[in-house]
C-alpha cells in the first residue's frame, strides 16, 4: 500500500517548504547500545563504597532506513531522550556502537540536527536569529536569511521573528526550536517530543507540517513522543522502549530499558486518524505502555517486517 506521496509532494508543496529537493537522508544503525549512569555517591556514604552504575538502556539494536520516520515510544524516564542524545552524538553509549550512513558516529555530527525536549533558545537573540543558528555553516547570508524567513512562515512565527524568546509562548518557542532543527536541512532529524508543549489543535497542524517537510525532502526522522496517536499518525515504524516482562517496573529500573515492541504502521501518510486498523495498534501500544485498553482487540495483524522505502 505504498503511496506516491514522496514523488508528488515536492511539486505540491515546494513554495511552503524551504528544504531543497536534493536533500540526502542517511541510515542510522544502533548495534547493542547500552547506557548506564553512575550516580554520585551520597554524602555520608561509607568511603570506598562503590555505587553501582544504573543501567538505563541495554541491548538496543535497530536499523533506521534512510528516509524512514521512526517513532520512539516509552514511559517517562525510560531512556527515550538518552537514546536520541546518543544518536545525535551528545552522549556516548556505555556499550555498543552507532553508525550513520555506514560510518561510525564520532561526537556531534553535522549530518544530524536535534530538536531538544526543551526549546533551548538563546534568550538574547530574536526568534529569527535563533532559527538562523541552525543554518549549515557554508550557507550564504542572503540564502540563509530567506531560508529563515521561509521556516518562520512554515511554523507560523513570521510576525514574531523579531521577538525575544521570553516574549513568546512556550508553544511558540517549541515551534521556533523545530524550525531551528529544520534549518540544518539535516540527513537525520532527531526530534525529542517536538510537539509536547503545543495545544491539541496546533499539535495536529504541526504534525501535518512535519509530514509536508518530510514529503518534500525525505530525511530520516527519529521522533521521540509519549503520544501513541502521534506516533501512529507520523511514523513508518514504532518502537516501544521499556523493561522486559521479567523485570518488575515499567521504566526498567533494574536492568535498563530495551525495545519491547516494534511495529510497522500500515498504510501511507497522511493516515485516517480514526481507522480501525490504527485503533488496534493503538490498543497494543497502550497495553505495552501499561495502560488498560478497556476493550477487546479486533484482531488486525500488524506486520513485523520492514517494508522497502519508499512505502
Partner 1 sequence: MTQTQIPKPGTAAAVRPARRPIRLTSRRGFVIFGGALLPLAILLVWQLSITLGVVSVSQLPSPAMVFLAAIDLYERGQLTLYVAISTQRVLIGFAIGASLGVAAGALVGLSRGANVLLSPTLGAIRAVPSLAWVPLLLLWLGFGEQSKITLVAIGAFFPVYTTVSLALRHVDQHLVEAGRAFGLGGIRLFTAVQLPAVIPSVISGLRLALAQAWLFLVAAELLGASMGLGFLLSESGGNGRIDRIILAIVLLAVIGKITDAVVGIFEKWANKKWA
List the one residue from 58, 80, 180, 237 that touches ligand ATP (CB under 6 A).
80
Shortest gap between Cβ of 38 and ligand ATP (angstroms)? Answer: 8
Q: Could you tell me the three cell numbers for 76? A: 517517562
Tell me the number of residues near ligand ATP by CB under 6 A.
12
User: Do 123 and 164 touch, CB atoms closer than 8 A?
Assistant: yes
Q: Mask 19-38, x = binds ligand ATP (CB under 6 A)?
A: ------------------x-
Cα separations in angstroms, 62 against 83, 103, 264, 296: 11, 15, 13, 31
Report helix angle 170-183 to 141-154, nearest 10: 140
Footprint of Mg ion on residues 47-86 (CB under 5 A)? Answer: 81
**Termini Cα distance of the chain:** 7
- Residue 186 near ligand ATP by CB under 6 A: no
Give CA–CA dist 219/24, Å, rounded.
Answer: 7
| Cβ proximity of 170 and 118 under 8 Å | no
One character per residue 85-124, x = contact with ligand ATP (rule: CB under 6 A): --------------------------------x-------
Contact characters 125-164, partner 1, x per CB under 8 A: --------xx-xx---------------------------
Residue 53 CB, nearest approach to ligand ATP (Å): 10
Q: Residue 257's closest CA among 76, 107, 30, 131?
A: 76
Contact status: 190 vs ligand ATP (CB under 6 A): no
Would you say 238 and 246 are in contact if contact means Cβ atoms under 8 Å apart? no
Binding at 226: pick from ligand ATP, partner 1, Mg ion, none (beta carbon under 5-8 Å per type): ligand ATP
Pick from 19, 62, 70, 78 the residue near ligand ATP by CB under 6 A.
Answer: 78
Amino acid at each position: 500500500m505504498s503511496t506516491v506521496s514522496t514523488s508528488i509532494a515536492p511539486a505540491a508543496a515546494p513554495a511552503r517548504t524551504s528544504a531543497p529537493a536534493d536533500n540526502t537522508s542517511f541510515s542510522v544503525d544502533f548495534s547493542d547500545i547500552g547506557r548506564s549512569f553512575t550516580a554520585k555517591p551520597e554524602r555520608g556514604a561509607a568511603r570506598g563504597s562503590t555505587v553501582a552504575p544504573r543501567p538505563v538502556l541495554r541491548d538496543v539494536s535497530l536499523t533506521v532506513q534512510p528516509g524512514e520516520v521512526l517513532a520512539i515510544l516509552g514511559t517517562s524516564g525510560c531512556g527515550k531522550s538518552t537514546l536520541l542524545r546518543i544518536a545525535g552524538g551528545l552522549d556516548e553509549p556505555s556499550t555498543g556502537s552507532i553508525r550513520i550512513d555506514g560510518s561510525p558516529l564520532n561526537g556531534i555530527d553535522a549530518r544530524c540536527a536535534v530538536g531538544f525536549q526543551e526549546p533551548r533558545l538563546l534568550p538574547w537573540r530574536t526568534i529569527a536569529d535563533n532559527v538562523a543558528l541552525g543554518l549549515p555553516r557554508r550557507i550564504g547570508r542572503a540564502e540563509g536569511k530567506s531560508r529563515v524567513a521561509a521556516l518562520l512562515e512554515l511554523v507560523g512565527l513570521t510576525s514574531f521573528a523579531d521577538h525575544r524568546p521570553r516574549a513568546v509562548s512556550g508553544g511558540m518557542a517549541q515551534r521556533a526550536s523545530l524550525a531551528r532543527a529544520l534549518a540544518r536541512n539535516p540527513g537525520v532529524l532527531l526530534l525529542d517530543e517536538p510537539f509536547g508543549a503545543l495545544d491539541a489543535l496546533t499539535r495536529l497542524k504541526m504534525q501535518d507540517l512535519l509530514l509536508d517537510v518530510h514529503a518534500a525532502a525525505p530525511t530520516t526522522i527519529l521522533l521521540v513522543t509519549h503520544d501513541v496517536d502521534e506516533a501512529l499518525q507520523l511514523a513508518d515504524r514504532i518502537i516501544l522502549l521499556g523493561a522486559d516482562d521479567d523485570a518488575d517496573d515499567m521504566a526498567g529500573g533494574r536492568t535498563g530499558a530495551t525495545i519491547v515492541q516494534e511495529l510497522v504502521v500500515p498504510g501511507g501518510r497522511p493516515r485516517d486518524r480514526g481507522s480501525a486498523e490504527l485503533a488496534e495498534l493503538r490498543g497494543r501500544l497502550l497495553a505495552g505502555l501499561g495502560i488498560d485498553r478497556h476493550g477487546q482487540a479486533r484482531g488486525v495483524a500488524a506486520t513485523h517486517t520492514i517494508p522497502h522505502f519508499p512505502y
